[in-house]
């Protein structure tokens, strides 16, 4: 199969022929329909986060099940599915206490002595985040995908695989936004826009979107923002504090920088919660004033929106089909696998919401 491979940090992805194994007892072979380009992929390409190489990147995807292993009970051939990088075992402490997204059980991966899921003619090939969706097929654990209704467009469904679940989940699960509360979101890429949309669905009374690119303002409004701050022209923290008479109940950082994480915390009201969604590069430190904790302000992380994806993702599909999730506005361009590097070049400019690779049926 054709796949986009990262062989060296800082270098473009290479389109190569990669071999894929057959499904084991709890595995599913999926024909990839679409895969979104996520900033997380770029972090690994640039070396901000380490990963064994060579590897097939990609983790925001949808597809159609072609084969299943002998013990698979969750999906069947012909099902339309959305994948999720937070594969879960179903019986560890995290899973049994409702924190499936925190599961790190090795049971969802093949063992060191097993045949690898992916391989290349000239040596091993690493699977990325349990998925490797920049490829014509994916071979994954059954607990890394969920079946969805077949009238859902698969190119749009791919977005639910990461950015939507991460952003909406951060609002409704991690921070538990309640009706009437106030929200600020720093960064209006795919994840940030999803957080805006999630806050709107949760009933937030005021949603302040913040970005360095002024053109993102109208887009944020379409997702439910009530206000927009162009951070390239003003002090975003000062603006938020003035607009809300002392700060917001919930703030969300969706870029992955120490500076914006600090701003996220500093724009809170007393008792507020700052949620760091973005992947701050390894080694960077976040500094906050210790006295601020006397006001019961909270700074917390959010991993994949604290999801229960087998339940959440079908519901998000229903939200889209009923008009509550504005995902059509999130796709800035549809590209082919061979254009993946051009897609990441566009991402670096910061002007697009999401690029989606669409594979031929």
pLDDT at 155: 97
Dist CA 138 CA 310 (whole Å)? 18
Kindly report the backbone phi and psi dihedral angles of residue 202, in degrees, each rounded to the nearest multiple of 5, phi listed first: -75, -15
Tens digits of per-residue pLDDT, 340-352? 999 999 999 887 8
Considering the chain, what percentage of its residues have pLDDT values greater than 90? 93
Q: Kindly list the catalytic residues.
A: 38, 40, 43, 59, 162
Tens digits of per-residue pLDDT, 210-229? 999 999 999 999 999 999 99
pLDDT at 22: 97
Q: At what angle do helices 236-243 and 258-266 cross, to 10 degrees?
A: 20
Tens digits of per-residue pLDDT, 234-271? 999 999 999 999 999 999 999 999 999 999 999 999 99
pLDDT at 361: 46
Q: pLDDT band at residue 360, thresholds of 50, 70 and 90?
A: confident
Output 246 or 123, whichever has higher pLDDT: 246
Kindly report the backbone phi and psi dihedral angles of residue 6, in degrees, each rounded to the nearest multiple of 5, phi listed first: -95, 115
Which domains are seen in the chain, by residue range?
Answer: 2-148+330-358 (3.90.180.10), 167-303 (3.40.50.720)
Q: Name the residue among 41, 351, 38, 334 with its Cα closest to residue 165.
A: 38
- Summarize the confidence of residues 172-199 as an average pLDDT: 97
Q: In the predicted model, is pLDDT for residue 179 greater than 60?
A: yes
């Amino acid at each position: 199969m054709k796949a986009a491979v990262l062989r060296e940090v800082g270098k473009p992805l290479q389109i190569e022929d990669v071999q894929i194994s057959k499904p084991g007892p709890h595995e599913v072979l999926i024909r990839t329909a679409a895969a979104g380009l996520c900033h997380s992929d770029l972090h690994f390409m640039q070396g901000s986060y380490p990963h064994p190489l060579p590897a097939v990147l990609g983790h925001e995807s949808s597809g159609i099940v072609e084969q299943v292993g002998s013990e698979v009970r969750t999906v069947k051939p012909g099902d339309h599915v959305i994948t999720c990088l937070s594969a879960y075992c179903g019986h560890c402490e995290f899973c049994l206490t409702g924190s499936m997204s925190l599961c790190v059980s090795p049971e969802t991966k093949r063992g060191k002595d097993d045949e690898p899921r992916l391989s290349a003619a000239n040596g091993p090939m690493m699977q990325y985040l349990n998925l490797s969706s920049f490829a014509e097929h994916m071979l994954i654990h059954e607990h890394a995908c969920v079946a969805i209704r077949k009238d859902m467009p698969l190119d749009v469904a791919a977005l639910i695989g990461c950015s939507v679940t991460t952003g909406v989940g951060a609002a409704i699960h991690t921070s538990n936004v309640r009706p009437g509360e106030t929200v600020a979101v720093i960064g209006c890429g795919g994840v940030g826009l999803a957080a805006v949309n999630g806050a709107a669905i949760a009933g937030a009374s005021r949603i302040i979107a913040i970005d360095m690119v002024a053109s993102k303002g109208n887009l944020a409004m379409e997702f439910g923002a009530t206000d927009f701050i162009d951070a390239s022209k003003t002090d975003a923290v000062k603006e938020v504090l003035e607009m809300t008479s002392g700060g917001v109940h919930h703030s969300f950082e969706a870029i992955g920088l120490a500076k914006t994480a600090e701003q996220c915390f500093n724009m809170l009201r007393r008792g507020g919660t700052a949620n760091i969604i973005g992947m701050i590069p390894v080694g960077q430190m976040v500094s906050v004033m210790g006295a601020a904790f006397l006001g019961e302000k909270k700074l917390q992380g959010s991993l994949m929106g604290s999801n229960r994806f087998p339940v959440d993702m079908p519901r998000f599909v229903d939200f889209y089909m009923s008009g509550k999730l504005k995902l059509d506005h999130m796709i800035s361009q549809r590209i082919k696998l061979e254009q993946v590097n051009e897609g990441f070049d566009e991402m670096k400019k910061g002007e697009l919401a999401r690029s989606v690779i669409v594979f031929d049926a």
